[in-house]
Amino acid sequence: MSEERRRRTIVIGHKNPDTDSICSAICYAALKSKITGKEYVAGRAGHVNEETQYVLNYFSVEAPQLVESVKTQVKDIEIRATKGVDRNISLKKAWNLMQDAHVVTLPAVSAKGVLEGLITVGDITKSYMNVLDSSILSKAHTQYKNILETLEGAMVVGDENDYFDQGKVLIAAANPDMMEYYISEHDLVILGNRYESQLCAIEMEADCIIVCEGAAVSMTIRKLAQEHGCTVMTTPYDAYTAARLINQSMPIGHFMKTEDLITFEDSDCIDDVKEVMASKRHRDFPVLDKDGKYLGMISRRNLLGAKGKQIILVDHNEKNQAVDGLENADIQEIIDHHKLGTVETISPVFFRNQPVGCTATIVYQMYHENNVEIDKATAGMLCSAIISDTLLFRSPTCTPIDKMAATELAKIAEIDMDRYAADMFSAGSNLRGKSNDEIFYQDFKLFNSGKTSYGVGQISSLNADELVELKERLLPFLKKPHEEHGVDMIFFMLTNILTESTSLLCEGEGAEELIRTAFHMEEAGADDEANVVELPGVVSRKKQLIPSIMIACEA
């Protein structure tokens, strides 16, 4: 499978997502998957509000995964699948694996996949060049099967899974009389085919004897070795070669680095990884998953071909409303119904922007254009998004296309729109137990008009008493987001769906005056509530409030 096919594309709406942002992302991701055969997944850039959760629960659909940032991560680049090895493999085997895989570093990994250490070509080289004493083999806790593998030997007496963990390594070059003086208990003795030498080594309680040049081992020696618990193996090599090679049988665990390992998680951002790599001289770095399990290796070269996450933006095209890290992402498409914003792309993208009341209306059209059948759940989500964005066709943003689409979708979803809309709006305005932060950020967006920056939030409700209560709570609260976001002004729309009107809360120097100018109203009188402007007939942030603010700012 090609790399292009393996890469998935995230379809995502704006921060503080509303019902249209979530539902359009889910439905468009499903459409793209069906018509391309590639992997498209819906994401969300914030918390799912009560209204949207009601919709998802009603049609038994799971909320998209939260995507807090689309910065390029380690998981987005090619992770070299260098296989982890057991810490007990020999230096020789490790060297051969490195040569075959054309790598300079091997990770030692436990049976459970946990990284235990790293062995490099340099570590293996040091093991030969450093002066080692004759007991290094036992200090390294060397397994007999490593010695057999390195010397291409055969086990005559003993268990290859046992360890040589005491004594020193000797070559029996002298006659048996002399051997008695330098062979100690637990030693490993390399010798030839002389019966007397073999017998002497066994009687001196050597733990292992290695018979060179493929010489046969007599039955008597085998029997004595078994009685004394002495391991016997043969090798086709001569004594000099065997002595030269035997250190290569030591396990990598004795030489590998196990402390202060520099590792990365697959969720780490590439920018952070680059900084660490620049300060270190290592060639390769291990990558772990969130549970600490080993995944593979990366090097500086891997970073050169790093590709940003592939994403599709729905229901917005303003950079300050988009998920964090957008500048690192590979934007593939934009599907929206708002004014043109500030999103910049590296290369041309498919951009569909229509003056309709809801992004879901455009997604509905695209299902028909591609002859893809709309199932009940998809129809329900798209219809819910249109009802939400158009306030059940009361918003001035609503077009005949929106109403036609919603009517057809309601039939497929088998819902009564008036009754369903009342339940959906009630769920969305159910703010019991919610903090001021949760209410404020339920539907909040940032904007820029010329040199003026401002944020606008909105709550729509069928309950006039609830809106009055919210006004008392949120009016003093606006100072907090005003300071946190560092914008010039903050506005919050308390929209009454039944009366089709909005009480606009204002915060910031000149905020109330700007609104009164924008809607050609008189200055506030003595009877008017401070920092609150009543806007009859205004229900749409996109169609009515934002354009009026933009014109006032330019004026």
Tell me the per-residue pLDDT of 236-286, one tens digit each, with 9 for 90 and over. 999 999 998 999 999 999 999 999 899 999 989 988 898 888 888 788 899
Top-tier CATH class for 75-128+254-304: alpha beta
**Token pair recorded at residue 133:** 């004493």
Q: Which pLDDT tens digit goes with each residue over 187-209?
A: 999 998 889 899 999 999 999 99
Residue from 160, 157, 94 nearest 121 by CA: 94
Query: Which residue type sits at 546?
Result: I
Domain with CATH 3.10.310.20 in the chain: 436-554
Model pLDDT for residues 207-243, shown as the tens digit of each residue? 999 999 989 999 999 999 999 999 999 999 999 999 9
Sheet holding 9-12, edge to edge: 65-66, 40-44, 9-12, 310-314, 330-336, 350-353
Q: Torsions phi, psi of 412, nearest 5?
A: -65, -40
Sheet holding 264-265, edge to edge: 264-265, 285-288, 294-298
Nearest to 312 by CA among 5, 6, 8, 12: 12
CB 18 within 8 A of CB 314: no
Model confidence at 367: pLDDT above 80: yes
Q: What are phi and psi of 264, to 5 degrees?
A: -125, 150
pLDDT at 316: 94
Which residues of the chain form CATH 3.40.1390.20?
141-249
Between vectors from CA 461 to CA 456 and to CA 467, what angle results, nearest 5°?
A: 75
Residue range(s) of every CATH 3.90.1640.10 domain in the chain: 3-72+308-428
47-68 mean pLDDT: 95
pLDDT at 176: 72
324 forms beta bridges with 69
Within 478-539, residue ranges assigned H as helices are 479-485, 511-518
Distances (CA, A) of 389 to 63, 361, 381, 460: 19, 10, 12, 10
Q: What is the pLDDT of residue 75?
A: 87
The C-alpha atoms of residue 81 and residue 78 are separated, in whole angstroms, by 9
Taking the C-alpha atoms of residue 71 and residue 43, their distance in angstroms, rounded to an integer, is 14
173: CB partners within 8 A, 6+ apart: 239
Summarize pLDDT for 380-397 with one digit per residue, the tens: 999 999 999 999 999 999
- Residue 178 or 489, more confident: 489
Ramachandran angles phi, psi of 503, nearest 5°: -95, 115
Residue 132 is predicted with a pLDDT of 65
How confident is the model over 93-122, as a mean pLDDT? 92
Q: For 423-433, what is each residue's pLDDT tens digit? A: 999 888 777 77
Q: What is the helix (H) or strand (E) element at residue 179, kind and residue range? A: helix 176-182
Homologous superfamily in CATH for domain 141-249: HprK N-terminal domain-like (3.40.1390.20)
What's the pLDDT score for residue 240? Answer: 92
Write down the pLDDT at residue 1: 36
pLDDT of residue 95: 94
Within a 10 A sphere around the Cβ of 292, how many other Cβ atoms?
Answer: 12
Cross-strand bridge partners of residue 157: 232
Q: What is the pLDDT of residue 4?
A: 44
Nearest to 315 by CA among 404, 445, 457: 445
What is the arithmetic mean of pLDDT over 81-104?
92
| Residue 5 clears pLDDT 80, i.e. is over it | no
**What is the Cα 514 distance to its own chain's centre?**
44
Q: What is the reported pTM?
A: 0.68
Comparison of pLDDT for 194 and 56, the residue scoring more: 56
pLDDT at 29 over 60: yes
Assigned superfamily of 436-554: DHHA2 domain (3.10.310.20)
Q: What is the mean pLDDT of the chain?
A: 91
Q: Write down the architecture of domain 3-72+308-428 according to CATH.
A: Alpha-Beta Complex (3.90)
